[in-house]
């Protein structure tokens, strides 16, 4: 039914207030529909119907995160949350947008700057509220090219975090900063956008995992390859990263997280600029060094050394 009309879909929890038009997307935990208000047919909303099998605490957490961050700095606003028996539906602002696949490899430098600035602005807001999004990827950061507007969506995997300051806890990627409580998460995110610490199942994950994902999006944009990291399993994904960062840097990153990985002794590191030229034949020469520096700081394998969203907003790339 994906992409089809939604006339047969009923939402008793919404008391007939909306007319469902079509399915927008289907995910593991929910289905999103485009709908319009019956009383005002020109007003459209997104109805996110949560699967009945989804844990109630997950849904409650998503709603709370959206109430905290929604409507601020390119973050999707929540309009209502409705429940009927065991069925929960979130009423969200509908955001018309372009498909990432249609524009990611033809973006101008100005567009790249606007896109990444807006993403970091959204992440800085979310992180400042003690929230890790945990599933940053192109389909969750929407771009309306005609309007030049952006929106961060889908907080279904988001985690509110406490500030823990245990001294000497080497598992913490960023001691003293927001991080998920022990045992709360492991494999967050989507294949191709998971940080090394997620792949290595480090329990104490921080907002740095979102920054890695933002860097992975930028890497897709400048190389024209989406997703850039394409391995099907976690250990192969680590090896794929080693082919870029080199085996020494990956081993050091793993060791900083109290993990060990098995890699060939000598895998040399590659520069981002050389990698891009290899992949696209050097078809673009308008990308400044500051872009590659920002990329390198986002895709820093050691999460404790990774740039923050607030720092990224001050990066020279945005003054180029």
Cite the active site residues: 135
Residue 201 has which token pair?
């199942």
Contact 62, 161 (CB under 8 A): no
> What whole-number distance in Å separates Cα of residue 122 and Cα of residue 75?
6
Contact 290, 266 (CB under 8 A): no
> What whole-number distance in Å separates Cα of residue 127 and Cα of residue 86?
31
> What whole-number distance in Å separates Cα of residue 129 and Cα of residue 210?
14
**Residues with Cβ < 8 Å from 66, sequence gap 6 or more?**
75, 76, 77, 78, 90, 92, 155
> What whole-number distance in Å separates Cα of residue 231 and Cα of residue 238?
9
Q: Which residues pair with 162 in a beta bridge?
A: 179
Which strands make up the sheet holding 30-37, listed edge to edge?
Answer: 18-26, 30-37, 44-50, 87-93, 78-84
Residue 243 has which token pair?
């082919």
Residue 229 has which token pair?
């990291």
Environment class of 275 (CB within 10 Å of its CB; exposed 0-12, middle 13-18, buried 19+): middle
């Amino acid at each position: 039914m994906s992409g089809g009309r939604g006339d047969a879909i009923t939402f008793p929890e919404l008391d007939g207030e909306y007319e469902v038009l079509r399915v927008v997307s289907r995910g593991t935990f929910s289905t999103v529909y485009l709908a319009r208000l019956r009383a005002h047919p020109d007003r459209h909303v997104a109805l996110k119907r949560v699967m009945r099998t989804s844990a109630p605490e997950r849904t409650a957490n998503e709603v709370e995160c959206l109430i905290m961050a929604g409507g601020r700095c390119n973050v999707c606003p929540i309009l209502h949350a409705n429940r009927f028996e065991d069925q929960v539906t979130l009423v969200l602002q509908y955001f018309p947008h372009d498909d990432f696949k249609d524009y990611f490899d033809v973006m101008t430098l100005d567009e790249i700057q606007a896109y990444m600035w807006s993403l970091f602005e959204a992440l800085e807001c979310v992180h400042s509220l003690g929230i890790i999004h945990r599933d940053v990827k192109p389909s969750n950061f929407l771009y309306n090219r005609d309007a030049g507007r952006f929106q961060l969506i889908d907080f279904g995997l988001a985690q509110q975090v406490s500030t823990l300051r245990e001294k000497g806890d080497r598992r913490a990627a960023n001691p003293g900063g927001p991080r998920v409580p022990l045992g709360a998460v492991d494999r967050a995110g989507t294949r191709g956008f998971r940080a090394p610490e997620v792949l290595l199942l480090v329990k104490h994950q921080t907002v740095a995992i979102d920054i890695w994902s933002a860097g992975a999006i930028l890497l897709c944009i400048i190389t024209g390859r989406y997703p850039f990291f394409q391995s099907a399993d976690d250990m192969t994904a680590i090896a794929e990263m080693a082919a870029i960062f080199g085996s020494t840097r990956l081993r050091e990153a793993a060791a900083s997280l109290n993990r060990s990985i098995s890699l060939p002794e000598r895998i040399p590191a590659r520069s981002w600029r050389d990698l891009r030229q290899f992949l696209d034949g050097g078809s673009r020469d308008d990308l400044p060094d500051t872009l590659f520096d920002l990329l390198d700081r986002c895709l820093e394998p050691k999460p404790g050394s990774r740039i923050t969203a607030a720092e990224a907003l001050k990066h020279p790339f945005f003054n180029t």
